[in-house]
A and B are shown apart, each in its own frame.
Chain A
Amino acid sequence: MKHLFFSLILCLFPIAVNATAIEQAPWEPRAAAYRLTLFLGNLNPTPWDKLESSWTAPVPGSALPVSALSRVTEVESADIREALRTKDRQALFEASTTAISGGILRHLDAAETALGTSSGAEPEIAIAEALFRAFEDGIAAADASAAKEIGRAWLVLNSSVGSAGLLGNGIEDPNTIAFAEAKSTISDYVEQNYLLAEFTPRSKLTPIPESIFVSGVQVDLPATLPPGSDIADQREFPRLVLQFEEAGEDEANLPLVAYGDMLFDSPEIFGGPAQELGITCSTCHNRSDVNRDFFIPGLSHRPGGMDVDSAFFNPMFNDRTDDHLDTPSMRGIRFTAPYGRDGREPSLRRFVRNVIVTEFAGKEPTPFQLDAMVAYIRQFDFLPNPKIDRAGLLTDLASDAAKRGEVLFNTKFAGLDDKSCASCHTPSRHFRDGKTYDIGTAEPPFPGGTPTAFETPTLRNVNFTAPYMHDGSLPTLASVVDWFDSTKNLGLNADQRADLTAYILAVGDGEEPYQHFEGTDSVFRLSWEELTTFASTLDTLLPAQDAENIALLVATVAPDLAADASAMTNQAAKPDVYEFAAILRAVGVASAAGDWHEANRQWNAFKIRQAEIDERMF
């Protein structure tokens, strides 16, 4: 699982291949705009308005709140603006690549000039290196020997600037010869690959060096997300309520559910960039709820959702519409069929399959895998709410205002076709009715066309699912009440609207909505318990000699164990986790080889080791 939201990891590379979600170090403003340009430029249709603002306004993930264009030369700025004006994708690639490479060379020159002066060369080198980061993964993927040579050149460069020492101690003069040689290594490569009078047209915009691109060599460029992306878990981590768990049952005793839980946390079930980036169901649906910090520039209009059918995750199902969707909460999902905002899927099983295959380009899941996922997901319950009883009626814990609102909620209005709010948000049916309606929120797809009808959403735990409506257009429940009052001519006065809002807040409440971490009850402890529970399904899979699902489990759990160790409070025990993950990998290797004796031996070693180190796993 990806529970690294409290870690201090600041990765210099873009969020990339098989990475557990980590926070990226901020980008130099021009480099941030460039990487965003590469990402947005590969969407289809090209989002020109977003491309323009990526250069003319500060972008997420930038180290400074300034526009990239404020940092380029007049000529570079003019070329970028012209490419944006003419909506020429290739020209924009060339102009922005030139701006980055030109910046690298200028800052290297400035560093050389500053050698041995009181201002020092270090600040200029730092900026040049921060700009070079925009190309770095392209060179690493396409030209490993050059990447190493240039990497060493940066080391030489930083080492040859000399030192002002420490209060008169350890003063060192710059080594101008070594500096010049290293600078030349970097500059020459940049000039030959990124600062050209003419670039070869590219169908996909990448930081792959021109010389390699022209050669036609196939480059396995890792999938990356643009600066400002946040796919780590929500900082305020939602609480998960599983029915069996609350009833006192241990997940380890329910292998189908545990395996489904593992699949919910596995990027292996997805394909394409989602799998490469380590995205899982739980990346967006943190603990059955929503990750409201999730954000991918270009795909998300706001945190907590994205356009799931863009060109990025599965080009086959690109609907060519920039239609951000707020991630829905999955709490109580077994009670909220049909699925999808428009209720298009009557079955949870079909909906899960749709997410895996259609949205995230995964292979067709096996019936067992779908069984397992549905078995797990069906255990998601709502957060308990003592303000309502099992019939959905307010209890004595609700306020007087809420009780007045309850009466209004059950009052029929002419503007609602002589129905009440409760007619659709039926209290005894978890405040929904399983039907779809056109309540005037969506525009028809074309003049005379039929607007989409939307399924009645539950009001259970609705306090935690802002923003509201299918398009997230209303920020608060009070604004939802106001919207119905004005568009449906309910004729409510201010007090009545406040009472109705109080009622919805009462039925939409929930106990302990967020997980609390303290001391040894740490983020890693939660991961540890989950991952070892996932592994416990080997007690069932090994006797069945189910090599396929063992492989999937090991490919998910072993790397997650190792990766999550970086978030340990008890850093001293980190090596234990690496060793422990290696035992699980050994189970996978033996299973793949059909050596079931060895696989079982390693599995037993795993369980023994788990008991030995359990106490220090936090």
Chain B
Amino acid sequence: MLNRRLFMAAACATLALPSSGFAAQGLKLAFIPQENPEKLLGDIKIVTGWLTEQLGVPVTGFVTFDHAAAVEALRNGDADISFMGALPFVLAEDQIGAIPLLSEVYRGQPSYAGRVFVRRDSGIKTLADLKGLDIAFADPVSESGYLYPLDLFVRDGLIADAPDADNFFGQKFFAGGYQQAMQAMANGLVDAAGASQYADLLLTPEQQAEVVVLAESEQIPSHAIIARPGIDADLQSRFTLAMLRLNDAENRHLLAYLYGPDGYVATDPAVYEGVRATARRYGYLK
């Protein structure tokens, strides 16, 4: 039986143009919005300009409304490539057969974790101590800023599933980002924060000394650069190689225009197995 993923891949393959056609059209990149969308527009110009030089074909970029819009753009051919987190990637993989090409590297690793942070002087020693207390997460669709920190409570048997969190915590907030969640915790507005592994570095050095890690999740593959199925194989390969050249000393300054990783490594679908399992447990994947 043709499942949805294979069907979409087959459909895209059927519609795929010859290689020369792709080269003429160039490459279209979809960017996921960040905190400063206007700055992102400027960044995209710089990045696509560089890629155009490197690939010898026109490279354009645009900011999508959200992950769903990016996946839709990949599905209908409005985008060839998209930047995407690990969880939306496995959903995109499921829905349209998206292909992972590259993974961001931070502090030498292509993966990171979600953590639960508390103030050093809070007296909170275990996740169970947070029953009835307030927590700030980053965003309801964030892996390291919500799902994975929340999963720590599930694994400890403190909550049954995501909706049950409201029965465990006093109040559960979504602060709007890692930094906002961490500041809310550090400033005493809430008792704990669920955020990414290095979110404490978003606090002042003085605040960092006053914060401790209560728990850490399993590793999550870093944000990925993914391609739509049916993308011209040669162009995909050249794009991947060009992106890997961002690791070279003379190009590293361009990383600041790409969400600021330390670099990129090539990735493959196997590293996302843990994310797929988590997505299935929370009903994101059937």
Is A351 part of the contact surface with B, judged by Cβ < 8 Å?
no
Chain B min CB distance to A574 (Å): 8
Name A33-82 residues within 8 Å CB distance of B: 63-64
| CB within 8 Å for A563 and B206 given contacts A151-B189, A164-B66, A575-B212 | yes
Q: Are B87 and A565 within 8 A (Cβ)?
A: no
A159 to B141, CA, bound (A): 12
> Please, which residue of chain A has its CB at the minimum distance from the CB of B108?
A569
Is B175 part of the contact surface with A, judged by Cβ < 8 Å?
yes
Is B183 part of the contact surface with A, judged by Cβ < 8 Å?
yes
A419 to B152, CA, bound (A): 80
> Please, which residue of chain B has its CB at the minimum distance from the CB of A560?
B205
Q: Are B208 and A155 within 8 A (Cβ)?
A: no
| CB within 8 Å for A167 and B37 given contacts A7-B201, A562-B209 | no
Q: Are B205 and A563 within 8 A (Cβ)?
A: yes
A203 to B221, CA, bound (A): 55
Contacts of B187 in A (CB 8 A): 148, 151
Name B196-215 residues within 8 Å CB distance of A: 198, 201-206, 208-209, 212
Question: Which one of B10-18, B47-55, B88-96, B236-244 is at the interface?
Answer: B88-96
A578 to B176, CA, bound (A): 29
Is B123 part of the contact surface with A, judged by Cβ < 8 Å?
no
Is A170 part of the contact surface with B, judged by Cβ < 8 Å?
yes
Q: Are B174 and A169 within 8 A (Cβ)?
A: no
Q: Are A169 and B205 within 8 A (Cβ)?
A: no
A63 to B107, CA, bound (A): 26
Q: Are B202 and A10 within 8 A (Cβ)?
A: yes
Contacts of B275 in A (CB 8 A): none
| CB within 8 Å for A126 and B202 given contacts A151-B187, A169-B91, A172-B140 | no
Contacts of A565 in B (CB 8 A): 205, 208-209
| CB within 8 Å for A126 and B209 given contacts A13-B204, A163-B140, A164-B66 | no
Contacts of B189 in A (CB 8 A): 148, 151-152, 155
Chain B min CB distance to A448 (Å): 53
Name B10-37 residues within 8 Å CB distance of A: 35-37
Instruction: Point out the residue from A148, A155, A166, A578 that lies within 8 Å of B67, measured CB to CB.
Output: A166
Chain A min CB distance to B149 (Å): 15
| CB within 8 Å for A158 and B173 given contacts A63-B36, A164-B68 | yes
Is B7 part of the contact surface with A, judged by Cβ < 8 Å?
no
Chain B min CB distance to A580 (Å): 11
Contacts of B35 in A (CB 8 A): 126
Is A20 part of the contact surface with B, judged by Cβ < 8 Å?
yes
Is B184 part of the contact surface with A, judged by Cβ < 8 Å?
yes
Q: Show 10 A/B contacts (Cβ-Cβ < 8 Å), sorted by A.
A: A7-B201, A13-B204, A26-B36, A125-B176, A129-B176, A167-B71, A169-B91, A169-B284, A571-B198, A575-B212
Instruction: Point out the residue from B38, B140, B184, B206 that lies within 8 Å of A19, measured CB to CB.
Output: B206
The 5 closest A-B pairs by CB, nearest first: A563-B205, A158-B176, A155-B173, A562-B209, A566-B205
A559 to B210, CA, bound (A): 12
Name B72-124 residues within 8 Å CB distance of A: 87-88, 91-92, 95, 107
1/0 contact trace for A295-306 toward B, CB 8 Å?
Answer: 000000000000
Is B225 part of the contact surface with A, judged by Cβ < 8 Å?
no
1/0 contact trace for B244-284 toward A, CB 8 Å?
Answer: 00000000000000001000000000000000000000011
Is A12 part of the contact surface with B, judged by Cβ < 8 Å?
yes
Name A1-27 residues within 8 Å CB distance of B: 4, 7-13, 18-20, 22, 25-26
Chain A min CB distance to B163 (Å): 10
Q: Are A562 and B176 within 8 A (Cβ)?
A: no
Name B147-190 residues within 8 Å CB distance of A: 162, 172-176, 179-180, 183-184, 187-190
Contacts of B198 in A (CB 8 A): 8, 571
Q: Are A578 and B141 within 8 A (Cβ)?
A: no
| CB within 8 Å for A168 and B68 given contacts A63-B39, A575-B212 | yes
A569 to B141, CA, bound (A): 30
> Please, which residue of chain A has its CB at the minimum distance from the CB of B138?
A158
Q: Are A9 and B202 within 8 A (Cβ)?
A: yes
Contacts of A9 in B (CB 8 A): 201-205
Q: Are A122 and B176 within 8 A (Cβ)?
A: yes
